[in-house]
Amino acid sequence: MKASFVQKIVVLGTGGTIAGLSVGPQERGQYRAGELSIERIWGQVNGVGLEPHFDVDVHQVCQIDSKDMAHAHWHLLLAHLQTAMADPAVRGILITHGTDTLEETAFLLSWLLPHDKPVVLTGAMRAWDAPDSDGRQNLQDAWAVLQRLIARSMGGVRVVMAGEVHPAGSVQKMHAQSLHAFESEAPMPLSRLTQDPPTSPQSLGSGQFEAPRSVEDVWPYVRPSLAQVLAHPQWPRVEVVMSHAGVEPAGVVLALVEQLERERELGLGREAAPATPRLAPLRGLVVSGTGSGTWAESLREPLLSLMSLGVTVVLTSRVPWGHEGLSGHPLPGPKTPTLASGLTTSAHSAHSPGGAQWSQLSPVKARIALALHLLASQEATA
């Protein structure tokens, strides 16, 4: 007799190299990403070991090269995830994703999704039909991890690549070609998880595989709910600039200042509808700084000018690891004594624009966090 309550796993495809096909001779390694549908990929995977009490719902969210991932694609993905999270029959979710922006999507999901159901992301460094393709194995590994998480009733977001399980908040792509392209602060070898009895979560000992906590930061970002994000497909505009040797004060940052000043002079408000398309007003800027979050002195005046125009500035480091305990590089200005430093322990910017903050997140993750912060602040003051 068939059970009245069927448990499901949702598989979501977004394209990427794992869905790529070779272009020309396969040995040259040239391919087009996002060519295969998730239905075709799933149909070609053998030996996944689907538990008999699980049904699988497969959905194509988008079919792109992940370098082209946009807020609109995230909006579609989040809508699918909201539906899956709300369905009591769904026990877990598996997402295939391109590796270029996988760490950004993983971070976004770790900040927005509830931790009551497991979500596992995976991808590939080689096209699906390449002789040394890693996509099939990564997909099977991700499936094995997801089933273990379900068996242990463990939620949260994780990334599975090259035989390792990474926490979504700290994972980064660190190599452009290697199959072992991803690193994180606390990866777990896949073998450790799959060899442990699924009924003995205490056998993990160190607790590395406990439900991952959302990444905390020195600046208390305000986070919107998933429903709030889905209600605002247009995110606040946040840009990223880099501090580097030889950076010119009259470069990108000054151009942003001039753009904002020009818009103010023209009186173009948020509701204005000019005949030609224009960028949304700049709300935030992330500075990818050097070392411990320092930045070139030539950027001081342009950054202060942006803050005086209501732009929230977040100072980060372009160095991947070692941010713990750092407080950044202060950004005081002789004419702006209220802007004391990049480190704050209060959310004084939560409902007011402007100000400089230090973040231990990577620049691309800080951009996401800041955009969400500004979206939530906008909601709070609406």
329 close to 357: Cβ distance less than 8 angstroms = no
Angle value at C-alpha 61, between 60 and 62, nearest 5 degrees: 95
Neighbours of 86 (CB within 10 A): 9
Q: How many CB atoms lie within 10 A of CB 178?
A: 10
Known catalytic residue at 194 = no
Q: How, if at all, do strands 118-122 and 90-96 pair?
A: parallel
Q: Which helix (H) or strand (E) holds 300?
A: helix 300-308
Backbone angles phi, psi at 110, to 5 degrees: -65, -25
Pick the catalytic residue from 14, 17, 99, 105: 17
The burial of 335, by beta-carbon neighbours within 10 Å (0-12 exposed, 13-18 middle, 19 or more buried), is given as exposed
Q: Can you read off the two tokens belonging to residue 158?
A: 């994780």
Please state, in angstroms and rounded to a whole number, the distance separating the CA atoms of residues 345 and 343.
7
214/219 Cα distance (integer angstroms): 14
Nearest residue to 121 (alpha-carbon basis) of 184, 154, 168, 74: 168
Active-site annotation, residues? 17
